[in-house]
Amino acid sequence: MVNILITGGTGYIGSHTAVLLCEAGYNVHIADNFANSDPGVLNRIEQIIGKSIHFSEVDLTSSEDLDLVFKNNTFDAVIHFAGLKSVGESIKEPLKYYNNNISSTMNLLNSMHKHNVDKLVFSSSATVYGECKIVPLEETFPIGQTTNPYATSKFMQELILRDVAFASNLNVVTLRYFNPIGAHTSGLIGENPKGIPNNLCPYITQVLSGKLEMLSVFGDDYETDDGSAIRDYIHVVDLANGHLKAIEKLLQTNSSTSYNAINLGRGIGVSVLEMIKTFENATGRKVPYRVTSRRQGDLPVSYAATDKALNELDFKAERSIEQACRDSWNYQEEFNKTSASKE
Ligand code: WQD
């Protein structure tokens, strides 16, 4: 049995990855402090996989607490999701982001080193490409022209991991996600941000369910076909599958490459107005929206070059954005039912 530690495993991408790894026969141990997730996710993961899952409630910024998890368990590899991820909050509270995200990764690396765990999949983001205007975005492009402390903290973590990997026996696959959307088809797990969502898809599903009144489309004066900004939306289950492939590669590897950054996207750009249409077609409901000014820091166009993921991980996203919209809406409806029955 191969033992995998998943930090941040009750979060949006972490929970879907935990499910896929369990279904593939891995022994998964989740470490999380529920900073941006709900403890009920653990039960829902267990419902999907039909067995119990190992869990430690731990804040990764406490090196002692984290090290106890390593002391009391055996791990072959780690997938590191845990971290704060709100762009807006990071601009207001940069120290919180640097303290949390950098110290968590440092503590994890120290514990991995101490306990001889030498395989790591790191949750990074296309945000590290920053203001790069050339698309599709290739992994060889320079990174670090970042526009907010969240993005800079991801960039800094990538640099730290690269340096440590070159200087030790640590093997790292860094996955740069584009825009994850959708949910597990069961409707049991999905994206459930605390407070008002910042991201497009959870905002749309909350408008569709009547929780929020209207979507603001941030800008229709970009140089794109319909004037709205373009992103590379990828189904979260596809994204989770990318992690499974990365773990498999690390476990097989006698690779000479100790640090490898790989994009996970569909390689297809979709505009905000196209996303609204797709949601409307998938759900049979209208999305009320108004066009407002551009959001500060937003890029006109961002989508992934996907050749590296295909060549090195044998990864290709399989699910359409229509399916992702259906799954997001299904999750939102299930979530609303559960919340209503609790009231
Ligand atoms: C998508 C498009 C908005 C909300 C961010 C982070 C990135 C990653 C994913 C990781 C943009 C437009 C949005 C709304 C809108 N995070 N939009 N109205 O900005 O591409 O990426 O999330 O953890 O690091 O930067 O994603 O979903 O916020 O926006 O018009 O209410 O939708 O302008 O064009 P983004 P997003």
Instruction: Summarize the confidence of residues 170-176 as an average pLDDT.
Output: 98
Can you tell me the distance from the alpha carbon of 19 to that of 50, in angstroms, rounded to the nearest whole number? 10
pLDDT at 105 (0 to 100): 98
| Amino acid at the residue 212 | L
Q: Which segments of the chain are extended strands (E)? A: 3-7, 27-32, 54-57, 77-80, 119-125, 171-177, 179-181, 215-218, 230-231, 233-235, 259-264, 270-271, 289-292
Domain of residue 194 covers 3-342
Q: How far, in Å, from the CA of 186 to the mean position of ligand 1?
A: 25
Assess whether the C-beta atom of 203 lies below 6 angstroms from ligand 1. yes
pLDDT value of position 256: 60
208-260: per-residue pLDDT in tens? 999 999 999 999 999 999 999 999 999 999 999 999 999 999 999 766 669 99
Burial 180-209 (b: 16+ CB within 10 A, else e): bbbbbeebbbbbbbeeebebbbbbbbbbbe
Question: What confidence score (pLDDT) does residue 158 get?
Answer: 98
Give the count of domains, the chain: 1
Residues 257-280 have pLDDT tens digits of: 699 999 999 999 999 999 999 999
Yes or no: say if 263 and 309 are a contact pair by the CB < 8 Å rule: yes
pLDDT of 184 > 90? The answer is yes
Q: How far apart are CA 25 and CA 3, in angstroms?
A: 10
Q: What is the pLDDT of residue 187?
A: 97
Atom of ligand 1 nearest to the CA of 217: 30
The CATH number linked to 220 is 3.40.50.720
The set of catalytic residues is 150
| Residue minimizing CA distance to atom 26 of ligand 1 | 199
Q: Is the CB of 169 under 6 A from ligand 1?
A: no
Say if residue 150's pLDDT is above 90.
yes
Is the pLDDT confidence value at 286 over 70?
yes
Cα dist from 304 to 36, 99, 219, 230, 272, whole Å:
27, 29, 22, 12, 17
- The protein residue with its alpha carbon nearest to ligand 1, atom 19, reads 298
Best residue among 222, 231, 302 to mutate for probing ligand 1's pocket (most ligand atoms within 8 Å of CB) is: 231
Type of residue at 179: N
Pocket test for ligand 1, best of 154, 211, 295 (most atoms within 8 A of CB): 295
Burial class of 27 by CB neighbour count within 10 A (0 to 12, 13 to 18, 19+): middle
Regarding the beta carbon of 215 and ligand 1, being less than 6 Å apart is answered yes
